[in-house]
Structure 1
Amino acid sequence: MSKHHGVARPAEHTDADTPAGTDAEAARWALRLQRGLDARERAAFEAWLDEDAAHAEALSAMQDTARRLRALSGSRPAAARPARRAWLRRVGLPAAGAAGLAVVAGGGWLAWQGRDDGLGAPWRLATARGEIRPIALPDGSQLVLDTQTQVDVRYGQHGREITVHEGQGWLSVQADPARPLVVHAGGLRIAVVGTQFTVRHTRSGLDAGGVRVAVEAGRVRVRRAQPAWRELVGESGLRDVSLSVGQAYVLDASGRSGVVPAPAPGAIALWREGRLDFEDTPLAQALEEFGRYGVTGAVIKDPAIEAWRVGGSYSLRNLAGFLAALAQQLPLRVEQDATGVFEIRAL
């Protein structure tokens, strides 16, 4: 089967991709409620409650269990605050169940309005296909977004936070020990004070489906995400991994992770200079990477050669130059048909 690169669009990620089960869903919603919901998430939460009365019961049980585990560990709940319980009446919870959840909510576990973490509303930044965009952040930090990248930025008096939903970026972070910057990308949490690094989380191209963090200057701390119930009770068996210059951390699509060598500082994020760097990269993946910047019109006619390895540094705007180099590196030929499509075949 032929593969046409640079045309197909990646599927959107949904909660259906995560493990199923009412308890797992309740844990996720409990954590989201603790962090705060935006209007879209609140609507989804209400729809989830309406699906089945068991959902509200599972949520109540999850919150009660978390409260008890907190108490056993000696931690104290946050100061009580009013909670909106209209949704309890909507789903018809028994009085006992409603009272039990009200105690948890009053203890600060469930906050309909969201917890006050000192950060402002998300500031959405995005780039179109083929666009590379430098951005000056409010604190003097510098952010460069690669093509097809979408991030949320939140700044406040006590912290700074960036969430990478898709794409990759380069960050030069202004040092502020009182307000460390935390970056969330896929299954990783990256904490920094003042440093330069890149983070990548894409659905196609290099490291597709995974996350890669590479340090250009200074140090960063990386931690894998943990199950929602662990975060709810403040328990974690995970440790931070400290990265310095010349090191990268990779979490691949299969869940394997570890520290690997990073390119030299001058060779990190060459896409900022309009170049793509490949080292022992599968041919199909290299073409997908070109496709992130524009329609390539390249078709691999022989599936057997998709895994063949390529290397070198190329202009991301010069696919023809890359294809010409392929014929010198590998036993294949590239031909352009009457419609302008490049067909790649083994010799």
Structure 2
Amino acid sequence: MTERESSRYIDATAADWIARLDRGPLSQEESQALEAWLAGDPRRRGALLRADALSLLSESAGALGSQFDPAKFAPPAPPPPPAPALSRRKLLAWTGAGGLAAASIGVLAISVQPAAAITTGLGEVRLVTLDDGSTVMLNTQSSLRVRYGDKVRRVELLYGEAYFTVVPDQGRPFVVDLPGEPLRAARGTFRVRKLEGKPVDILVDQGGVSLGEAGTADAVFLRANMRLTLPETASAPLPAPEAISADHVARALAWREGKIAFEGERLDQAAAEFARYSRTRIEIRDPALASEPVTGLFAASDPAGFGRAVASVFDARIEQQGGAVILTRRPGPR
């Protein structure tokens, strides 16, 4: 009787395969060996996805730049060369799901009931695996309703922010219901943000999505590294998508790793972003200080640490009163 492999051994083997994939395209013999390995034990596909997630986390952190220092607010360094695209495509084909940049987030596999809603609380980030193998990662204070049927995989972002990884299903398109035109995706990874008082924002990480009726003049298609903000009036025509850099994408998705990334935002805007993740509020009691630009990568759950970094850089005074971090300018010389 063949001895059953331990999970630790499977994880180590999966990490070795990811390392080989990142070095370059596999030879025909290596590809066949990987396919045979994946077919040998049902646990191996999940292990390969976890190993891929760890690799993607490293790439994402590198893309933010080695100079993203909160203490110095230095500009980001140029991104490192991307991993070979072919190896990632092969990985997606073998595993049947997109790379999950969420190794530090608990994976919650659930059987979604019709019209089921998934909701996160303040500071909570949750990764959910849907019935078809697609995944959705919900950011803090977000809610999503799932309505899977025989002919369409339909979800609705009620509020908040969600990152989707869609696996292909030729018989059932994946649709995200949005104000105005629904978003359709055949395969890929993308983020949808729907915050109170702000227009819906769509960002494509990999693959592509479309809005509007296919084949019509009003249809809009977004590819990787593109962003689109929906008009506030549902009947208004869709704007053209905006091309953005890979660095911009990495910063916008830093929340998946428990981080917040800024690049030139006003300090009061940064304080408002921290308020999405913590009950500790950052109060800035000087208009000039509030308008200062901020650049850096910070832990979303540590507004006090962010306040200390700001105080150090801008020679400000910081004090903590109850549930508030208060920043003020130091008195100038008389």
Structure 1 counterpart of 2:296: 312
Provide the C-alpha distance between the structure 2 equivalents of 1:340 and 1:146, rounded to a whole number of angstroms.
22
Q: Is residue 252–residue 261 contact of structure 2 (8 Å, CA) maintained in 1?
A: no
- Identify unmatched segments of 5+ residues in structure 2: 1-112
Q: Is residue 186–residue 210 contact of structure 1 (8 Å, CA) maintained in 2?
A: no
Work out the percentage of aligned pairs sharing the same amino acid: 29
Q: Is residue 271–residue 283 contact of structure 2 (8 Å, CA) maintained in 1?
A: no
Structure 1 counterpart of 2:306: 322
Structure 1 counterpart of 2:242: 260
**Residues 115-151 of structure 1: per-residue CA shift (max 9 Å, x gap):** xxxxx84221111111111101011101111110011
Provide the C-alpha distance between the structure 1 equivalents of 2:179 and 2:268, rounded to a whole number of angstroms.
23
**What residue identity is the alignment partner of 2:258?**
G
Provide the C-alpha distance between the structure 1 equivalents of 2:289 and 2:306, rounded to a whole number of angstroms.
16
Q: Please identify runs of 4+ aligned residues in structure 1 that moved more than 6 A.
A: none
- Aligned counterpart for 1:241 among listed residues 201, 214, 220: 220
Structure 1 counterpart of 2:253: 269
Change (3 A) 1:155 1:146: same
Alignment of 1:214-253 (within 5 A): 214-223=203-212, 239-251=218-230
Change (3 A) 1:173 1:325: same
Change (3 A) 1:191 1:278: same
**What residue identity is the alignment partner of 1:259?**
P
- Measure how far apart 1:282 and its partner are: 2.5
Alignment of 1:47-66 (within 5 A): none
**Cα RMSD for the two superposed structures:** 2.8
**What residue identity is the alignment partner of 2:139?**
D
Change (3 A) 1:183 1:312: same
Structure 2 counterpart of 1:70: none
Alignment of 1:163-174 (within 5 A): 163-174=156-167
Alignment of 1:158-197 (within 5 A): 158-197=151-190
Q: Secondary structure at the match of 1:321?
A: helix
Q: Is residue 214–residue 262 contact of structure 1 (8 Å, CA) maintained in 2?
A: no
Change (3 A) 1:194 1:326: same
Change (3 A) 1:302 1:251: farther
**Residues 229-250 of structure 1: per-residue CA shift (max 9 Å, x gap):** xxxxx9x986121111111112
- Measure how far apart 1:258 and its partner are: 4.2
Q: Secondary structure at the match of 1:326?
A: helix
**What residue identity is the alignment partner of 1:301?**
R
Change (3 A) 1:189 1:161: same
Structure 2 counterpart of 1:334: 317
Provide the C-alpha distance between the structure 2 equivalents of 1:316 and 1:298, rounded to a whole number of angstroms.
13
Structure 2 counterpart of 1:286: 270
Provide the C-alpha distance between the structure 2 equivalents of 1:186 and 1:238, rounded to a whole number of angstroms.
19
Q: Report 1 or 2 for greater relative contact order, CA contacts < 8 Å, sequence distance ≥ 6.
A: 1
Provide the C-alpha distance between the structure 2 equivalents of 1:212 and 1:257, rounded to a whole number of angstroms.
12
Structure 2 counterpart of 1:128: 121
Structure-2-length-normalised TM-score: 0.57
Q: Is residue 136–residue 162 contact of structure 2 (8 Å, CA) maintained in 1?
A: yes
- Measure how far apart 1:274 and its partner are: 0.7
Residue 157 in structure 1 maps to residue 160 in structure 2: no
Provide the C-alpha distance between the structure 1 equivalents of 2:279 and 2:147, rounded to a whole number of angstroms.
33
Provide the C-alpha distance between the structure 2 equivalents of 1:269 and 1:142, rounded to a whole number of angstroms.
15
**What residue identity is the alignment partner of 1:321?**
G
Provide the C-alpha distance between the structure 2 equivalents of 1:322 and 1:199, rounded to a whole number of angstroms.
26
**Residues 136-170 of structure 1: per-residue CA shift (max 9 Å, x gap):** 10111011111100111111111011111110011
Q: Secondary structure at the match of 1:280?
A: strand
Change (3 A) 1:340 1:291: closer
Q: Is residue 276–residue 316 contact of structure 1 (8 Å, CA) maintained in 2?
A: yes
- Length, aligned pairs only: 212
